[in-house]
């Protein structure tokens, strides 16, 4: 399990390092609009979702090659990041900043198609190597370790973002190269630590009674519950994730928050610290009070937190409020994975975890482009102040998340879950 925890640390460190300031670079440094900036998340996550659902999930189930998928995906992405940087750098100097910006978006989207095999392999591998009773504590630990990794990544990003001039971390390639190195290290760790465990799982005899039960999965009540669960996760994600990139642009405004690069690091890390603590509690609490109730706590916070953002008047208040988003993400990540594991039979883990990951990633990806970005751009183009446009987007996000919470409460029955 050390390899899985280490991989999560490195993966979250890489995301915190690379993506925290990338939206600001695309918007302010290269001149994209808010909606254009959200295309980064949309196109990358669509590529991620499609490939997991239609390609990597089927390959994973057919060959049981979980760790191999992780290693291949990380290695391709590592070299791809370097290539994306040099293409962007060339276009920045020979064409236009807008063209350079779109080269980053398109390049990362292509890479996400291949990197998603790593995401799928990691999810299925954890479920393969643990029992339902072990999973709660393990996922709490792994998610907490990931929170530490994200803090490290965001902190490094804050140091290097303006290294060598405004947005120098992206212009001179430091953040691209750093992220690439992290992925190579992750691939090596999984190669040496998890492949032996994967082979042990492949050699296990599958219980015949379990096969018979799983063959009827598509006709069972658990099947319907699983898809209602996915639907509610998608709707809540559509609301919660629609403001992730807008949130950074909002706190970066001169008023009301007026955050510096260091302040943005502190605000972002407040969520990561909360994630570390909440992740350690989420699994055991879910086992104690029930996974439906615990997951409902995480969903409910996605409704409350965007409204509270509107009332923050300084960096300190925003740090406190943003920590709630960390709690929410911890419960949704840890308990959401436990719910999916309860509902997915072993023989369908690759395909159905592919669908679960696809739902979470595609809602993350398209939310900003379909909801947050258009709402903000429309209001700005009609003369509204940027701050007012962003706070309206927060309200819309809260309302959409509320719809998803209601769906989950009414349609996902506790009797279909293992507690």
In angstroms, rounded to a whole number, what is the distance separating the alpha carbons of residues 394 and 325? 13
Taking 50 as the threshold, does the pLDDT of residue 205 lie above it?
no
pLDDT (tens digit per residue) in 225-237: 888 999 999 999 9
d(CA 341, CA 136): 10
Please measure the distance between the N-terminal and C-terminal CA atoms of the chain and give it in whole angstroms: 23
**Angle between the 34-51 and 97-129 helix axes, to the nearest 10 degrees?**
40
352 CB neighbour count, 10 Å cutoff: 23
CA dihedral 270, 111, 165, 148 (to 10 degrees): 20
Angle at 36 between CA 26 and CA 233, to 5 degrees: 105
pLDDT reading at 44 higher than 90: no
3-state helix, strand, coil in the chain (%, to 5): 85, 0, 15
pLDDT for position 132: 66
Distance CA(14)–CA(17), nearest Å, equals 5
pLDDT of residue 316: 96
Q: How confident is the model at residue 418 (pLDDT cuts 50, 70, 90)?
A: low
Surface-to-core class of residue 317, CB atoms within 10 Å of its CB (0-12 exposed, 13-18 middle, 19+ buried): middle
Q: What distance lies between CA 100 and its chain's CA centroid? A: 25
Which sign, positive or negative, has the C-alpha torsion 86, 87, 88, 90? positive
Decide: 362 and 236 in contact? Cβ < 8 Å.
no
Overall average pLDDT of the 215-233 stretch: 74
Q: Is 325 helix (H, G, I), strand (E, B) or coil?
A: helix
Radius of gyration of the chain (CA): 21
pLDDT > 90: percent of the chain? 49
Residue 129 in tokens: 């190597």
pLDDT at 61: 79
Q: What is the 3 state secondary structure string of 199-262?
A: HHHHHCCCCHHHHHHHHCHHHCHHHHHHHHHHHHHHHHHHHHHHHHHHHHHHHCCCCCCCCCHH
- Percentage of residues of the chain with pLDDT beyond 70: 90
For residue 246, pLDDT over 50 is answered with yes
Residue 311, C-beta contacts closer than 8 angstroms, at least 6 positions apart: 317, 321
User: 338-369 pLDDT, tens per residue?
Assistant: 888 888 777 777 778 878 888 888 888 889 88
Q: Given this structure, which CATH class describes domain 8-200+217-416?
A: mainly alpha
The mean pLDDT of 48-67, rounded to a whole number, is 83
* pLDDT tens digit sequence for 77-134: 999 999 999 999 999 999 999 999 999 999 999 998 998 888 888 777 777 777 766 7
12-35, pLDDT tens digit by residue? 888 888 888 998 899 989 999 988
Token readout for 105 is 């978006």
pTM metric for this prediction: 0.75
- Contact of 148 with 9, CB cutoff 8 Å: yes
More confident residue, 10 or 196: 10
> What is the predicted pLDDT for the residue at 417?
62
d(CA 307, CA 289): 27
Task: Note whether 413 and 225 are within 8 A (CB).
Answer: yes
Give me the residue label for tokens 């992780």.
Answer: 70
Q: Is the pLDDT of residue 215 over 70?
A: no
Phi-psi region of 177 (alpha: psi -120 to 50; beta: other; left: phi over 0): alpha
State pLDDT tens for residues 154-183: 899 999 999 988 899 999 999 999 999 999
Separation between Cα atoms, residue 134 and residue 234, nearest integer Å: 27
Domain parsing of the chain, residue ranges: 8-200+217-416
Collapsing DSSP to helix, strand or coil, 314 comes out as coil
Angle at 283 between CA 280 and CA 287, to 5 degrees: 140
* Residue scoring higher pLDDT (236 or 70): 236
Half-sphere exposure of 55 (CA within 13 A, CB side): 14
Signed CA dihedral, 313, 314, 317, 321: sign only: positive
Tell me the two tokens of residue 182: 């992290």
pLDDT of residue 267: 95
Split at pLDDT 50, 70, 90, the class of 222 is low
Residue 374 predicted with pLDDT over 90: yes
Phi-psi region of 255 (alpha: psi -120 to 50; beta: other; left: phi over 0): beta
Average pLDDT, the chain: 86
Instruction: Report helix, strand or coil for 157.
Output: helix
Q: 36 and 369 in contact (C-beta within 8 Å)?
A: no
Residue 216 has pLDDT above 50, yes or no: no
């Amino acid at each position: 399990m050390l390899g899985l925890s280490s991989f999560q640390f490195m993966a979250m460190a890489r995301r915190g390092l690379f993506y925290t300031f990338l939206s600001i670079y695309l918007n302010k440094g290269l001149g994209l609009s808010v909606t254009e900036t959200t295309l980064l998340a949309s196109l990358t996550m669509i590529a991620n979702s499609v490939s997991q659902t239609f390609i990597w999930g089927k390959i994973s189930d057919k060959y049981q090659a979980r760790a191999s998928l992780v290693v291949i995906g990380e290695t391709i992405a590592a070299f791809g990041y370097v290539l994306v940087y040099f293409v962007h750098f060339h276009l920045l100097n020979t064409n236009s900043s807008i063209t350079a910006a779109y080269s980053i978006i398109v390049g990362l989207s292509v890479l996400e198609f291949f990197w998603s095999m790593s995401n799928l392999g990691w999810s299925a591998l954890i479920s393969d190597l643990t029992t339902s009773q072990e999973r709660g504590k393990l996922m709490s630990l792994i998610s907490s370790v990931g929170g530490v990794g994200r803090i490290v990544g965001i902190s490094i990003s804050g140091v290097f973002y303006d290294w060598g001039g405004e947005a120098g971390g992206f212009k001179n390639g430091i953040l691209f190269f750093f992220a690439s190195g992290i992925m190579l290290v992750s691939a090596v760790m999984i190669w040496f630590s998890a492949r032996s465990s994967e082979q042990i799982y492949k050699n296990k005899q599958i219980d015949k009674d379990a096969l018979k039960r799983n063959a009827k999965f598509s006709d069972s009540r658990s099947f319907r519950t699983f898809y209602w669960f996915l639907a509610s996760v998608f709707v809540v994600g559509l609301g919660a994730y629609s403001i992730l990139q807008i949130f950074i642009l909002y706190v970066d405004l001169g008023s009301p928050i007026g955050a510096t690069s260091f302040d943005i690091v502190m605000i972002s890390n407040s969520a990561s610290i909360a994630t570390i603590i909440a992740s350690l509690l989420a699994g055991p609490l879910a086992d104690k009070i029930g996974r439906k109730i615990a997951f409902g706590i995480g969903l409910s916070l996605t409704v409350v937190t965007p409204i509270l953002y509107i009332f923050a008047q300084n960096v300190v208040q925003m740090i406190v409020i943003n920590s709630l988003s960390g709690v929410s993400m911890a419960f949704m990540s840890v308990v959401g994975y436990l719910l999916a594991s309860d509902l997915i039979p072993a023989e369908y883990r690759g395909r159905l975890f592919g669908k679960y990951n696809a739902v979470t990633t595609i809602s993350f990806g398209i939310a900003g482009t379909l909801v947050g970005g258009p709402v903000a751009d429309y209001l700005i183009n009609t003369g509204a102040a940027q701050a007012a446009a962003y706070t309206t987007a927060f309200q819309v996000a809260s309302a959409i998340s509320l719809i998803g919470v209601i769906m989950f409460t009414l349609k996902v029955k506790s009797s279909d879950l293992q507690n």
